[in-house]
Chain A
Amino acid sequence: MPEPISRDTVAKVARLARLDLTEAEVDRMTTQLAGMLEHFCDVDALDLSNVQPLNQPIPLTNVLRDDVEQPSLDRDEVLGSAPAAQDGRFRVPPIIGFEE
């Protein structure tokens, strides 16, 4: 079984998940995640050595439609519900150049 999850790992996972957690949230989350992961160790009672993982319950693969043009969503309607749009596109803050 892996090491119990540390506060540093929780902070790193929060960055990966793009979640700005407060210090108090990181503390609380460390305790709660550790509890859940410990519970997960129950499965160590099972012999899983020759078991194939089951990703999804039905055996459909590569479902593709014919490559024919079809109408799409109305662009103005889609952009109309976005937080910010300009010139027919989603508008976002600067992507680079503000690293500290």
Chain B
Amino acid sequence: MTRRTVVDIATQVAAGSLSASTVLEENLAAITAREHEIHAFNLVTADRARERAAEIDADVKAGKKVGRLAGVTISLKDNMCTRGVETTCSSKILAGWKPPYDATVVRRLADEGAVFVGKTNLDEFAMGSSTENSAFGPTRNPLDTSRVPGGSSGGSAAAVAAGFSAASFGSDTGGSIRQPAALCGLVGVKPTYGMVSRQGLIAFGSSLDQIGPFTTTVADAALLMEVIAGHDPLDSTSLPQPAPQLTSVLANGVKGLRIGRVADMPEGSSPDVLARLDAAFEALRAAGATVVDVKLPSMSFGLTAYYLVAPAEASSNLARFDGVRYGLRVDAKDLNAMYGATRAAGFGDEVKRRIMLGTYALSAGYYDAYYGKALKVRRLIADDFAKAYAQCDAILTPTSPTVAFKFGDKTSNPLAMYLCDVFTIPTNLAGHAAMSVPFGTGEAGLPVGVQVLAPALGEATMFRVAAELERAS
């Protein structure tokens, strides 16, 4: 199978040495060959993609200026609004809904010449770590189909790992880009909160959600970040600044950077994952970085705080799915009965569980004991990171405590599933930047991801470290 990078496609298509249609047909052929066993997509938009690729090829032929992503094939997690194209969040409650607008990220990608291949599967409303919670069935890991691709952006990760598109986009509320990237051997980025517009991303946890790319190389992720990041007046939490310059820093190396090793890291990682983490520290040291011990004493409480904060925000955000404006309606004699029946029929088990937990944590009499306390823990985590970043420029941890696990391994125990995100969640609570970079293999020859953490707006440093790890792997 031909593996083309985003950078190669964009360069060659713009230069006229490769056609966008050729790239797309390669991806569509891979989809025909393997999608039936992978189930990366809720919807493949082959006809639209062919039209778009032909337009780009015509523009190149006519000598018109094309965008920075001309002919780059991209898959979108099915919680990003695409005008006139079904957007479901892998939930029965939105099945069939066609949004009346494009998400800002989608528009920016399209403006630069991206070709959208389809909408990818996810845990319903992005709630899960294995894509087993999709109402439309699970996605399988292309590297070993008896294992999960991770989640919640499992379809997006699988689409790139299987060669269905050159890159894809997911959303990360507690690790939903980084963990599947790690489990599928890809680069996955969770930008600083507010760096990438959330407009048109169907909200899960509004103070935590960020959109980011899945790619096969660090340079591809850097280019895609430059296209999607930067202020958006349509998102009131968008930071008032331009996109960071990332493609230009990748060759800078890590000489002189201080890399933090978390001395009091939560336990439970498997030995193969820890061995790769040690190797990553060694590689950075060999490249001229210094490794310093830092402490994040509240890190292990991140999971606990997150599993109240995120459901609380979700219970509020998901109140809009009430059978009135979009998606499913179950008819009933009055409005209240219609709400209750529609939501009961439309939401799956995990979504119901989180709505219930969130509603409880926000309800009168329990707010201070649960939600209020969780927000205080969130403050402690942010303070711990601030202290750590006074001593270092970036921190390395595992992305996931284990390599990709088997289907059904964790579905019976919600807490066991939640533990998948112990290393990724604290970043979302603090609003910082983080990414996962593939760094060798562990058990059963499956990929291991190393997570690079950086402070808010620390993307340039983070990408320098990621590029160095890529060179060393």
Q: Chain A: residues with CB nearer than 8 A to chain B?
A: 1-2, 5, 9-10, 13-21, 25, 29, 32-33, 35-37, 39-40, 42-43, 46, 48, 51-58, 60, 63, 65, 73-74, 77-78, 81-84, 90, 92-98
- Asked whether B97 lies within 8 Å of A81 as measured between CB atoms, the reply is yes
Task: List chain B residues, Cβ under 8 A from A97.
Answer: 334
- Asked whether A17 lies within 8 Å of B356 as measured between CB atoms, the reply is yes
Task: List chain B residues, Cβ under 8 A from A93.
Answer: 331-335, 337-338
Task: List chain A residues, Cβ under 8 A from B323.
Answer: 83
Cross-interface CB contact of A54 among B315, B336, B360, B378, cutoff 8 Å: B378
- Asked whether B379 lies within 8 Å of A53 as measured between CB atoms, the reply is yes
Known: A40-B304, A40-B308, A57-B456. A5 touches B237 (CB 8 A): no
**Could you tell me the dominant secondary structure of chain A's interface residues?**
loop
What is the minimal beta-carbon distance from B216 to any residue of chain A, in angstroms?
30
B458 part of interface (Cβ distance < 8 Å): no
Task: List chain B residues, Cβ under 8 A from A82.
Answer: 324-326
- Asked whether B414 lies within 8 Å of A77 as measured between CB atoms, the reply is no
- Asked whether B193 lies within 8 Å of A74 as measured between CB atoms, the reply is no
What is the minimal beta-carbon distance from B331 to any residue of chain A, in angstroms?
7
Q: Mark B314-358, 1 if CB is under 8 A from A, else 0.
A: 010001001111111101111111111101100100001101110
- Asked whether B347 lies within 8 Å of A19 as measured between CB atoms, the reply is yes
- Asked whether B98 lies within 8 Å of A51 as measured between CB atoms, the reply is no
State in angstroms the CA–CA spacing of A14 and B363 once bound together: 12
- Asked whether B370 lies within 8 Å of A40 as measured between CB atoms, the reply is yes
Give the interface size class of chain B.
Answer: 35 or more
Cross-interface CB contact of A94 among B335, B352, B373, cutoff 8 Å: B335
Task: List chain A residues, Cβ under 8 A from B382.
Answer: 54, 57
Cross-interface CB contact of A92 among B319, B335, B429, cutoff 8 Å: B335
Cross-interface CB contact of B373 among A5, A48, A90, A98, cutoff 8 Å: A48
Task: List chain B residues, Cβ under 8 A from A63.
Answer: 236-237
Task: List chain A residues, Cβ under 8 A from B339.
Answer: 18
Cross-interface CB contact of B340 among A5, A20, A83, cutoff 8 Å: A20
- Closest B-chain residue to A56, C-beta based? B207
- Asked whether B236 lies within 8 Å of A73 as measured between CB atoms, the reply is no
- Closest B-chain residue to A62, C-beta based? B236
Number of A-B contacts defined by CB within 8 Å: 169
- Asked whether A46 lies within 8 Å of B377 as measured between CB atoms, the reply is yes
13 contacts between A and B (CB under 8 A): A17-B343, A20-B344, A29-B352, A33-B353, A42-B301, A57-B432, A58-B193, A58-B194, A77-B100, A83-B324, A83-B326, A97-B334, A98-B333
- Asked whether A60 lies within 8 Å of B357 as measured between CB atoms, the reply is no
B29 part of interface (Cβ distance < 8 Å): no
Identify 5 new A-B residue pairs, CB closer than 8 A, beyond the known A29-B353, A60-B240.
A5-B360, A9-B360, A19-B347, A40-B308, A83-B326
Known: A2-B369, A58-B456. A81 touches B98 (CB 8 A): yes
- Asked whether A36 lies within 8 Å of B193 as measured between CB atoms, the reply is no
- Asked whether A18 lies within 8 Å of B343 as measured between CB atoms, the reply is yes
B380 part of interface (Cβ distance < 8 Å): yes
Question: Which residues of B (236-293) have their CB < 8 Å from a CB of A?
Answer: 236-237, 239-240
What is the minimal beta-carbon distance from B375 to any residue of chain A, in angstroms?
3
State in angstroms the CA–CA spacing of A34 and B191 once bound together: 34
- Asked whether A43 lies within 8 Å of B430 as measured between CB atoms, the reply is no
- Asked whether A57 lies within 8 Å of B356 as measured between CB atoms, the reply is no
State in angstroms the CA–CA spacing of A25 and B332 once bound together: 21
B27 part of interface (Cβ distance < 8 Å): no
Task: List chain A residues, Cβ under 8 A from B240.
Answer: 60
State in angstroms the CA–CA spacing of A93 and B324 once bound together: 10
Question: Which residues of B (203-254) have their CB < 8 Å from a CB of A?
Answer: 206-207, 233, 236-237, 239-240
Cross-interface CB contact of B193 among A18, A57, A73, cutoff 8 Å: A57
What is the minimal beta-carbon distance from B348 to any residue of chain A, in angstroms?
12
Task: List chain B residues, Cβ under 8 A from A83.
Answer: 323-324, 326-329
State in angstroms the CA–CA spacing of A78 and B81 once bound together: 13
What is the minimal beta-carbon distance from A21 to any residue of chain B, in angstroms?
7
- Closest A-chain residue to B345, C-beta based? A20
Task: List chain A residues, Cβ under 8 A from B359.
Answer: 13, 16-17
State in angstroms the CA–CA spacing of A35 and B431 once bound together: 28
What is the minimal beta-carbon distance from B313 to any residue of chain A, in angstroms?
10
- Asked whether B375 lies within 8 Å of A54 as measured between CB atoms, the reply is yes
- Asked whether B100 lies within 8 Å of A73 as measured between CB atoms, the reply is yes
- Asked whether A21 lies within 8 Å of B352 as measured between CB atoms, the reply is yes
Task: List chain A residues, Cβ under 8 A from B355.
Answer: 17, 19
Task: List chain A residues, Cβ under 8 A from B415.
Answer: 35-36, 39
- Asked whether B334 lies within 8 Å of A94 as measured between CB atoms, the reply is yes
Question: Which residues of B (184-207) have their CB < 8 Å from a CB of A?
Answer: 193-194, 206-207
- Asked whether B376 lies within 8 Å of A53 as measured between CB atoms, the reply is yes
Task: List chain A residues, Cβ under 8 A from B236.
Answer: 60, 63
Task: List chain B residues, Cβ under 8 A from A48.
Answer: 373, 376-377, 380
